[in-house]
Amino acid sequence: MIHEEHGAPRGGLDSTSLLRPLAGLGTLANFIRKTLVIAELEARKLRHDPTELFTRAVQPALWLLVFGQVFTRTRAIPTGDVRYIDFMTPGILAQSVLFIAIFSGIAIIWERDLGIVHKFLASPTPRTALVLGKALSAGVRALSQALIIFVLALILGVRINWHPLALLGVLAAVILGAILFSTFSLIIACLVKTRERFMGIGQVLTMPLFFASNAIYPIDIMPPWLKVLAQVNPLSYEVDILRALMIGQPSASSLLLDFGVLLAVSTGLILIGAKLYPRVVV
Amino acid sequence: MPILETYGLTRRFGTLTAVNNLTMTVEAGEVFGLLGPNGAGKSTAIKMLTTLLPPTSGDAQIAGYSVTRRAGEVRRLIGYVPQMISADGTLSGYENLLIFAKLYDIPRRERDQRVRDALAFMDLTDAADKLVRTYSGGMIRRLEIAQSLLHRPRVLFLDEPTVGLDPGARRLVWEHVQQLRENYGTTIFLTTHLMDEADALCDRVAIMHLGNVAATGTPAALKASIGGDGATLDDVFIHYVGSTLDSGGAYRDTRRARRTARRLG
């Protein structure tokens, strides 16, 4: 039982074990197993009380049914030969993934105040698995949003690409986006440590992330300074993937680059999160 | 042979020294109590021993493994019940235990039995499938102890195990802790500010005050050390710590204690 442990020297440093390629195979299997246990824990909570999933559906529905309908009529936003409602649907999916993920970090503050975090940190669970497990659960919540938006899109007559591979790509992009933004959220929670400050910062960040992206208008029509922000905003890359796969609009760069950016940023954030997470109890 | 040893274990928060140069030994199979008023440094000490908080200086070993350099091994050998509520109210009691059985790598075929045994040991079989939200305070505490026992730890850390419980529930938790020690010989390290709790449970106690250990020994020896046949642990406590109420620094101490409690909470 003892020799299974890789003997990480200290709290947050377990994360580096991911980078040791050969000695790390068993460690990697352990990491994946533990990540899934943490995600299972969150999925079980959701099964006991799924109301959250339904209340979360209201906001994207409003965007598509009200905002989308009006702006499709006015043709105020130039989207070429693509109807505006078609153009914005992938953007609204990305937005609802962002909103569901960006406030997920507050759970860490609740759990810290209760003492739940202490118990997890005193267990032999890799810190990276604790962080990625939480992030994956945000991915599960985000998938429910995707389902709702696809149903709405069907009702609104959005021309969705139903090819199974495209749908699979959408699935991957939604989960990856949720992992990215929920880990970002966790990092903020670990830094600010109180609910009040977290809510404040969450509010401050959400809208700029959303508006400084290509979610509801193309990057081309932005002033230069906003273009720069939109181009470093990971949300733009998620939207680019979703727009390409859902309505077949050509990707602004390439899907490979888009996925690469999301993956790289997520990995970086998870490693930072795994360093900060143990400090939440100090 | 000692199962837990600390060497000059120290933790500072800014200018406050929460634990100062703690050096002590706990023998295998012992129930050891760390006593002291709120803010004495008990929780900080337990956090360093459970690898949650890196010491500012000094070190501790559990079953020969350093808590600073071999934290991974230490975590497999210890169980920990934090002072605050650590069971998840939105899951059933069974699920709370099942998740931890998986985190501690208990093999799949043994898991269910291990979880059911732990629930039975803590008299929670009937409540296993109810949401923990609906449990009483005493039941939650027993569930948390069950959760920390699944992997059969060598040392079990209980931080203020009966804080906030009514006398009946408190007595029940004590009985279970005593049974645990009789049945499995688990070494138990607990903190408390209740003298009767220490008297009822502990083989040896250390009295902590403002980060320092003021006295160590068996409850009987400590009582004898201050003379008086009818001495209680309360008398011992007041003798070594002084009544904080009539010592001049009470306000400052209280403020310090509360600030620490807030920081650690």
pLDDT value of residue A265: 97
pLDDT value of residue B228: 66
Task: Confirm or reject CATH 3.40.50.300 for domain B2-264, answering yes or no.
Answer: yes
Cβ contact (<8 Å) for B86 and A122? no
Higher per-residue pLDDT: A265 or B222: A265
SS (H, E, C) chain B: CEEEEEEEEEEEECCEEEEEEEEEEEECCCEEEEECCCCCCHHHHHHHHCCCCCCCEEEEEECCEECCCCHHHHHHHEEEECCCCCCCCCCEHHHHHHHHHHHCCCCHHHHHHHHHHHHHHCCCHHHCCCEHHHCCHHHHHHHHHHHHHCCCCCEEEEECCCCCCCHHHHHHHHHHHHHHHHHHCCEEEEEECCHHHHHHHCCEEEEEECCEEEEEECHHHHHHHCCCCCCCHHHHHHHHHCCCCCCCCHHHHHHHHHHHHHHHC
With bands split at pLDDT 50, 70 and 90, how would you rate the model's confidence at B264?
A: very low
Cβ–Cβ contact B95 with A under 8 A: yes
pLDDT value of residue A124: 94
pLDDT one-digit tens code per residue, B16-28: 999 999 999 999 9
Does B60 have pLDDT greater than 90? yes
pLDDT value of residue B251: 55
Q: At B236, list the tokens.
A: 């011992």
Which of B44, B52, B106 to probe by mutation at the A interface, max A CB count within 10 Å? B52
Does B230 have pLDDT greater than 50? yes
Cβ contact (<8 Å) for B72 and A1? no
Cβ–Cβ contact B111 with A under 8 A: no
**Contacts of residue B95 in chain A, CB cutoff 8 Å?**
41, 44
The upper half-sphere exposure of residue B100, i.e. CA atoms within 13 Å in the direction of its Cβ, equals 35
pLDDT value of residue A69: 85
Lowest-pLDDT choice from B58-67, B192-201, B221-230: B221-230
**Contacts of residue A11 in chain B, CB cutoff 8 Å?**
51, 54, 71
With bands split at pLDDT 50, 70 and 90, how would you rate the model's confidence at B107?
A: very high
Answer for the pair A96, A59: CB distance below 8 angstroms, yes or no. Answer: yes
Does B170 have pLDDT greater than 80? yes
Cβ–Cβ contact B91 with A under 8 A: yes
Mean pLDDT of the region B183-205: 90
Mean pLDDT of the region B220-244: 78
- Measured from the Cβ of residue A228, the count of other Cβ atoms closer than 10 Å reads 12
Cβ–Cβ contact B64 with A under 8 A: no
With bands split at pLDDT 50, 70 and 90, how would you rate the model's confidence at B265?
A: very low
The model's pTM is 0.86
Cβ contact (<8 Å) for A118 and B52? yes
pLDDT one-digit tens code per residue, B238-252: 888 776 533 344 555
Cβ–Cβ contact B189 with A under 8 A: no
> Which residue stretches of chain A have pLDDT < 50?
1-15
Helix or strand run (H / E) with residue A227: helix A224-232
* d(CA B88, nearest CA chain A) in Å: 7
Q: What is the DSSP letter of A10?
A: S
pLDDT value of residue A12: 42
A vs B: CB pairs below 8 A: 101
pLDDT value of residue A71: 85
Lowest-pLDDT choice from A202-206, B141-145, B153-157: A202-206
**Contacts of residue B71 in chain A, CB cutoff 8 Å?**
8-11
Cβ contact (<8 Å) for B131 and A113? no
**pLDDT, mean over chain A:** 88
**Contacts of residue A6 in chain B, CB cutoff 8 Å?**
72
pLDDT value of residue B73: 94
Q: What angle do CA B50, B53, B57 make, to 5 degrees?
A: 105
Q: Could you tell me the residue ranges of all domains in chain B?
A: 2-264
Interface of B with A in 121-150 (CB under 8 A): 131, 144, 147-148
Angle between helices A164-192 and A84-102 (to 10 degrees): 40
pLDDT value of residue A251: 87
Does B262 have pLDDT greater than 60? no
Mean pLDDT of the region B58-75: 95
- Give the torsion through C-alpha atoms of B101, B104, B109, B113, to 10 deg: -40
pLDDT value of residue B7: 94
